[in-house]
Structure 1
Amino acid sequence: MLQRTLAQSISVTGVGLHSGERVALTLHPAPENSGIAFRRTDLAGEQGDIIRLTPDLINDTRLSSTIVTDKGVRVGTIEHIMSALSAYGVDNVLIELNAPEIPIMDGSSLPFIYLLQDAGIVDQKAQKRFLRIVKPVEIREADKWVRFTPYDGFKVTLTIQFDHPVFNRSSPTFEIDFAGKSYVDEIARARTFGFMQEVEMMRAHNLGLGGNLNNAVVIDDTDVLNPEGLRYPDEFVRHKILDAIGDLYIVGHPIIGAFEGYKSGHAINNALLRAVLADEANYEWVEFAHDEDLPDAFHELTFKKAA
């Protein structure tokens, strides 16, 4: 299977969920083996340099995955666009923005799926590299845990736990094996969510300044406030899977393995990635010269249009 980039540049504008700032975002095609990179066009000098994404650049995980470089450059809330890039197996792209945060759009990854579809995806000449998990790796923090186990494909299983009546209406656990299920159909539409009682705390820390009912599911003491309700009966856990897929794709390559999590979040997801990469006994890099040799889960990387 070959590496992929965009057929052409494409732009969109939106608002940052946490910063509340207006953001102009442009995705550009990028050369083979250049990876996923970001550039803040509003910054000059070294701060305006291209930032090639790696897991050790995620240095702020308060309610999102945020790049913070040694020069103090921030690119926040990257998990949703990363999730969309993962869905289409985009290896090489330059993401430019003129603000410290990726726009939230509607709170899901679907707008970024549409953006990628409009730009088009093209194969390049170099072989795509996959990160294959070859031994179990687990991280535990208090009552949370995440783990990778070897698996000939890509499967994600997550369980959430919230003491609130809204969450008792659907199963707290969702599993998706991409050998038989579509990211676009099952995951992409799930929106980020939050609680009304947390708004004042978040805004005191300059977070959630751009949040509203158009870009998040908002929950009060008893119910969902959004007039249209939920997009899936179990939208909350599906969104956590959307986030996890984006967090894991920060490694820049598709992962062959099974990911499981209980009450996972951005910080522990990133800690798991770092733990895998810290020991070469945990993984191997693989390529597939013939698409028929791919694990079934990655046949879904063929270009599927969103309805």
Structure 2
Amino acid sequence: MRSRPSTNLQTTLAAAVTLEGVGAHSGRPARIVLSPGDAGSGVVFSRGGRASAVDASIAALARNVSSTDLSVRIGAGEGSVATIEHLMAALNGLGVDNAVVDIDGPEVPAMDGSAAAFVAAIDEAGVVPLPAPRRAILLRAPVRVCDGAAWAELAPAPAGGFHMDVEISFPGAPIGRMRRRLSLTPARFRAELARARTFGFLGDAERLWRSGLALGASLDNTVVIAEERILNPEGLRFADEFVRHKMLDVLGDLALAGAPIIGAFRSYRGGHRLNLALLETLLATPGAYEIVGAAEQSARPTARVGAGR
């Protein structure tokens, strides 16, 4: 594994790396190849793989999101790619600004339901600097969105960096109400968020299957809850794994800003739809943020940002 490059410069992968697995919702196998990207290109998904008849390249940006129904999908039709959030969180958490993701299926593989396999792949490839300055989104004023009792907000962070405060609430055990705060760094991302798995309720399975969702979900890639107990034989990786996974999703969702965010995120009962609505509101409110360059960032420690079940 190579050391993390300077936060003042854009980064990319040092080499290509391949992962294979099954999509949690489609149930279809998929192979992805993560490759170096050019400075300023961001993260770009190439649907079908470079040798495929499907010819579609989709930038991982909020404007290209077509669905937030239990996962995040970008693009449309045969050229779309679903469930990108855990991979985006890994790229974001490790500070990878530019990458090409070749994928030969409709959905990023679930792996174990967390970002751990993607982190391992990025570490195998290595992260290197590019001869171009990194730019970031600096919060200047708060923005907030609500959906009934649920809400999410972004606000300036006087100390710089990216800070998360996420609270979830589900009736009954084993989740109930959980809240966690985190000032993000790559080390804390690795230790506290990367291994947190997605979760679901066995009672929802039939409804999801009828909707063509969760066809690849299993105890291998999902923490499954039934009758207020966890069905996975190994139990939880963290006592509060549920809220940690929601934080992982926040990181992946806000990565679709296309640049690191310097600010503080807070939410209550949030999810992909609310996270993306917040990001869209921010980007549509010019006075709420400023694009800053490497010189300003060096005075404000940053971590890449980018945040369902």
TM-score of the superposed pair, with normalisation by structure 2: 0.91
Q: Displacement, 1:238?
A: 0.4
Whether 1:63 aligns to 2:79 is: no
Whether 1:296 aligns to 2:304 is: no
Instruction: Give me the whole-angstrom Cα distance separating, in 2, the residues matched to 1:294 and 1:176.
Output: 20
Match of 2:293 in 1: 287
Letter in 1 for 2:32: L
- Alignment equivalent of 1:155, drawn from 134, 150, 163: 163
Instruction: Give me the whole-angstrom Cα distance separating, in 2, the residues matched to 1:51 and 1:58.
Output: 10
Whether 1:30 aligns to 2:37 is: yes
Match of 1:304 in 2: none
Q: Which runs of 5+ in 1 are unaligned?
A: 302-307
Q: Which runs of 5+ in 2 are unaligned?
A: 1-7
Match of 1:198 in 2: 204
Match of 1:251 in 2: 257
Whether 1:207 aligns to 2:213 is: yes
The number of residues matched between the two structures is: 295
Conservation of the 8 A alpha-carbon contact between 1:150 and 1:257: yes
Instruction: Give me the whole-angstrom Cα distance separating, in 2, the residues matched to 1:218 and 1:116.
Output: 28
Whether 1:172 aligns to 2:178 is: yes
Q: Displacement, 1:81?
A: 0.3
Instruction: Give me the whole-angstrom Cα distance separating, in 1, the residues matched to 2:13 and 2:295.
Output: 21
Match of 2:147 in 1: 141
Instruction: Give me the whole-angstrom Cα distance separating, in 2, the residues matched to 1:213 and 1:118.
Output: 27
State the Cα deviation string for residues 151-203 of structure 1 (Å, max 9, x = none): 122101111010021014xx610110126971100111100000000000000
Which structure 2 residues correspond to residues 72-221 of structure 1 after superposition, within 5 A?
A: 73-151=79-157, 152-168=160-176, 172-178=178-184, 182-221=188-227
Letter in 1 for 2:24: L
Letter in 2 for 1:295: R
Letter in 1 for 2:191: D
SS of the aligned residue for 2:169 comes to: coil
RMSD: 1.9
Q: Displacement, 1:294?
A: 4.3
SS of the aligned residue for 2:294 comes to: coil
Letter in 2 for 1:24: R
- Alignment equivalent of 1:54, drawn from 49, 52, 61: 61
Conservation of the 8 A alpha-carbon contact between 1:180 and 1:297: no
Conservation of the 8 A alpha-carbon contact between 1:136 and 1:282: yes
